[in-house]
């Protein structure tokens, strides 16, 4: 969650992978800027997604605080400079030459978590350092350079006494591996990522060298397909038992050139069944998301529901067109209902949507509004508050709460003129972060029906980016938790629809949309 988007939406301010539906490609995922606007009152803070942030449940603070030591204050003189909060409302600072990611960088991230994370002052340092060590060992083994002394030293639970013990061991490991700065930096990055993983928080993540999906020059790469399996899966998603099918096939992509179409059901990949005994075979999805610059052809056996035919298709990974910027798309359905597709809650999207509706009202007598938020990975929650202001005033859709229980209600925008029209919202498990704030507001404030499937449950709280001293690494940390208008926790659970209407392979293949049909029927009754 954040205040502004970061890459075009995928991501968080432009949603974190906010992007659009999960795509089978290895392009750099959009990242949500988890920030709190500097200088703005807490009541106006906003949420943003994650970028290709991990879909995980909210951190259980008690698990990390049970043995926390409130003792001595850190010795500031012995610590590197504090991590630098990033202000998305200001011009970026002058670029600096990258420096190696070192033990000093890891230390900076370590204290950044205690200083800025939700309930950070009460965190137990031991799980953070355990996960850091685990991540380092995993990287050592992956690269074939495991070390006999790469073990976690005995820890006390006093963060200032434990850090020097861990730092000494980590430095010994870095000194022992081959003199390859890239390797040593990757081990330090792994330690930072491990500490963030220990928080079990979908809005706490690492952005920079080593981020999942990063590619040289950030050029999109892959097959150019979207799948019905959100990656990573939503927190409440059951085991995926299929079928695995294409939800989108990008224009001018290798998949399109090979003749693949939305709705095609993938039955085999390189002659390996996608499922065995209803279990997804490991590596199948990875084969559909090749990394740059991998050009090994992928052979697919697909079934096309629209025709019943089985096809064997060979696709060679390659460069993909740049992701289109998120936008508002408004069409008229059933002669009098505005279908408003909102790809992400980027800055200004509410005004765009309201203007598009006003333009349609100028020529048509509207009887209802459908907001299609499927695949919307979040962005600026305040944009959702502006949209909700067209349906209700003097209400709050969500509150942001500190670890001590103090909460700041986030009001809808009373300056938005009321439309006085009924509304239905379409959701799925691609609706995350700020998108879920909107969905829970619609549900809790009784603004209209939700149709589709349950949202992602990726909604821990408003976050902010902090820069580290290697001039390439950023970490995102939430300082508050989000709760719905009725006081409910959404994170890890999601928002359920009032009317369940999933999209099947046959629907996609034949151009049907049961959720849109249901919404139209509700507004036409």
In sequence order, what DSSP letters do the residues of 127-147 get, joined into one string? HHHHHHHHHHHHHHHHTT---
Cα–Cα nearest to 494, from 459, 457, 460: 457
Which is more confidently placed, 514 or 13? 514
pLDDT at 476: 97
What's the mean pLDDT in 93-109? 92
Residue 285's pLDDT band, with cuts at 50, 70 and 90, is: confident
Per the CB < 8 A criterion, the answer to whether 286 and 350 are in contact is: no
Reply yes or no on whether the pLDDT at 23 is more than 80. no
- CATH-assigned architecture of domain 216-319: Roll (2.30)
* Ranges 95-99, 142-146, 338-342, 439-443: which has the least confidence: 95-99
Share above pLDDT 70 across residues of the chain, in percent, rounded to a whole number: 83
What's the mean pLDDT in 117-129? 97
* CA pseudo-torsion sign 410, 412, 415, 416: positive
What's the mean pLDDT in 292-299? 93
How far apart are alpha carbons 230 and 314 in whole angstroms?
24
Which residue shows structure tokens 């600026």?
Answer: 380
Tokens standing for 202? 């979908």
* Ranges 13-22, 128-137, 339-348, 445-454: which has the least confidence: 13-22
pLDDT tens sequence across 471-482: 999 999 999 999
pLDDT at 68: 44
Residues whose CB is less than 8 angstroms from the CB of residue 208 and which lie 6 or more positions away in sequence, other chains included: 189, 468, 470, 472, 473, 474
Q: Do domains 216-319 and 328-464+478-524 have the same CATH topology?
A: no
Share above pLDDT 90 across residues of the chain, in percent, rounded to a whole number: 75
Cα–Cα nearest to 168, from 178, 182, 157, 155: 155
User: For the chain, what is the mean pLDDT?
Assistant: 86
Q: Return the DSSP state at 170.
A: H
Please count the other Cβ atoms lying within 10 Å of the Cβ belonging to residue 77: 5
Task: Measure CA 246 to chain center.
Answer: 21
How far apart are alpha carbons 47 and 52 in whole angstroms?
15
What's the mean pLDDT in 430-446? 97
* Ranges 224-228, 285-289, 392-396: which has the least confidence: 285-289
CA atoms within 13 A on the CB side of 128: 33
pLDDT tens sequence across 231-253: 777 778 888 999 999 999 999 99
Helix (H) or strand (E) holding 475: strand 474-478
Domain 328-464+478-524 sits in CATH at 3.90.226.10
Residues whose CB is less than 8 angstroms from the CB of residue 310 and which lie 6 or more positions away in sequence, other chains included: 267, 301, 302, 303, 304
How far apart are alpha carbons 249 and 86 in whole angstroms?
36
Reply yes or no on whether the pLDDT at 361 is more than 60. yes
Residues whose CB is less than 8 angstroms from the CB of residue 138 and which lie 6 or more positions away in sequence, other chains included: 190
Cα–Cα nearest to 12, from 36, 48, 47: 48
Beta strands in 320-384 (DSSP E): 328-333, 337-342, 368-372
How far apart are alpha carbons 283 and 272 in whole angstroms?
10
Maximum separation of any 2 CA atoms in the chain, in Å: 75
User: DSSP characters for 382-411?
Assistant: HHHHHHHTTT-SS-EEEEEE-TTS-EEEEE
Reply yes or no on whether the pLDDT at 432 is more than 70. yes
How far apart are alpha carbons 163 and 120 in whole angstroms?
16
What's the mean pLDDT in 181-192? 97
pLDDT at 31: 33
pLDDT at 424: 99
Best-predicted range by mean pLDDT (90-99, 319-328, 365-374): 365-374
Residue 41's pLDDT band, with cuts at 50, 70 and 90, is: very low
What's the mean pLDDT in 147-173? 98
Full-model pTM: 0.81
Delimit the domains of the chain by residue range. 59-200, 216-319, 328-464+478-524
What's the mean pLDDT in 385-409? 97
Reply yes or no on whether the pLDDT at 50 is more than 70. no
How far apart are alpha carbons 295 and 221 in whole angstroms?
10
Cα–Cα nearest to 491, from 415, 417, 440, 443: 440
Per the CB < 8 A criterion, the answer to whether 12 and 51 are in contact is: yes
Strands 298-304 and 265-269: antiparallel
How far apart are alpha carbons 458 and 58 in whole angstroms?
8
How far apart are alpha carbons 146 and 149 in whole angstroms?
9
pLDDT at 76: 59
Residue 506's pLDDT band, with cuts at 50, 70 and 90, is: very high
Q: Phi-psi bin for 354: left (phi > 0), alpha (psi -120 to 50), beta?
A: alpha
Residue 91's pLDDT band, with cuts at 50, 70 and 90, is: confident
Residue 211's pLDDT band, with cuts at 50, 70 and 90, is: low
pLDDT at 171: 98
Reply yes or no on whether the pLDDT at 55 is more than 90. no
Reply yes or no on whether the pLDDT at 74 is more than 80. no
Residue 275's pLDDT band, with cuts at 50, 70 and 90, is: very high
Which is more confidently placed, 21 or 511? 511
Q: How many helices (H) and strands (E) does the chain have?
A: 12, 25
């Amino acid at each position: 969650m954040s205040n502004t988007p970061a890459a075009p939406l995928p991501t968080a301010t432009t949603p974190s992978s906010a992007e659009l539906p999960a795509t089978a490609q290895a392009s750099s995922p959009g990242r949500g800027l988890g920030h709190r606007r500097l200088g703005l009152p807490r009541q106006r803070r906003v949420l943003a997604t994650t970028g290709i942030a991990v879909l995980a449940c909210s951190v259980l603070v008690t698990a990390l605080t049970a043995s926390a030591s409130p003792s001595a204050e850190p010795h500031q003189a012995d610590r590197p400079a504090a991590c630098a909060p990033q202000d998305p409302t200001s011009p970026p600072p002058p670029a600096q030459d990258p420096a190696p990611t070192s033990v000093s960088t890891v230390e900076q991230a370590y204290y950044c978590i205690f200083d800025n994370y939700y309930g950070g002052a009460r965190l137990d340092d031991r799980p953070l350092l355990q996960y850091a060590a685990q991540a380092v060992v995993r990287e050592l083994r992956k690269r074939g350079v495991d070390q006999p002394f790469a073990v976690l030293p005995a820890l006390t639970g006093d963060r200032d006494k434990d850090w020097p013990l861990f730092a000494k061991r980590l430095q010994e490991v870095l000194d022992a591996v081959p003199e390859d700065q890239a390797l040593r930096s990757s081990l330090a990055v792994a330690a930072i990522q491990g500490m963030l993983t220990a928080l079990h928080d979908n809005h706490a993540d690492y952005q920079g060298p080593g981020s999942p999906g990063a590619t040289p020059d950030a050029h999109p790469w892959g097959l150019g397909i979207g799948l019905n399996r959100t990656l990573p899966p939503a927190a409440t998603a059951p085991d995926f038992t299929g079928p695995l099918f294409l939800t989108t096939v990008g224009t001018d992509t290798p998949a399109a050139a090979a003749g693949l179409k939305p709705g095609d059901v993938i039955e085999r990949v390189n002659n390996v069944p996608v499922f065995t005994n209803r279990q997804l075979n490991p590596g199948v999805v990875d084969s559909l998301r090749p990394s740059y610059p991998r050009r090994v052809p992928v052979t697919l056996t697909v079934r096309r529901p629209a025709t019943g035919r089985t096809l064997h298709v060979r696709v060679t990974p390659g460069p993909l067109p740049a992701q289109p910027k998120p936008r508002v798309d408004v069409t008229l359905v059933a002669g009098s209902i505005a279908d408003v597709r909102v790809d992400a809650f980027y800055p200004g999207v509410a005004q765009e949507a309201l203007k598009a509706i006003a333009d349609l009202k100028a020529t048509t007598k509207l009887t209802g509004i459908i907001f299609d938020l499927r695949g919307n990975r979040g962005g600026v929650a305040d944009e959702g508050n502006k949209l909700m202001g067209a349906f209700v005033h003097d209400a709050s859709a969500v509150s942001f709460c500190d670890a001590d229980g103090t909460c700041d209600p986030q009001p809808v925008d009373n300056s938005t003129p009321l439309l006085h029209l009924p509304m239905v919202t379409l959701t799925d498990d691609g609706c995350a972060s700020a998108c879920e704030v909107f969905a829970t507001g619609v549900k809790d404030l009784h603004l209209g029906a939700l149709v589709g499937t349950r949202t992602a449950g990726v909604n821990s709280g408003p976050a902010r980016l902090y820069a580290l001293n290697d001039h390439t690494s950023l970490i995102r940390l939430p300082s508050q938790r989000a709760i719905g208008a009725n006081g409910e926790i959404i994170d890890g659970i999601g928002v359920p629809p009032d009317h369940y209407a999933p999209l099947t392979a046959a629907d996609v293949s034949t151009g049907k949309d049961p959720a849109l049909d249901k919404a139209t029927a509700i507004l036409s009754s």
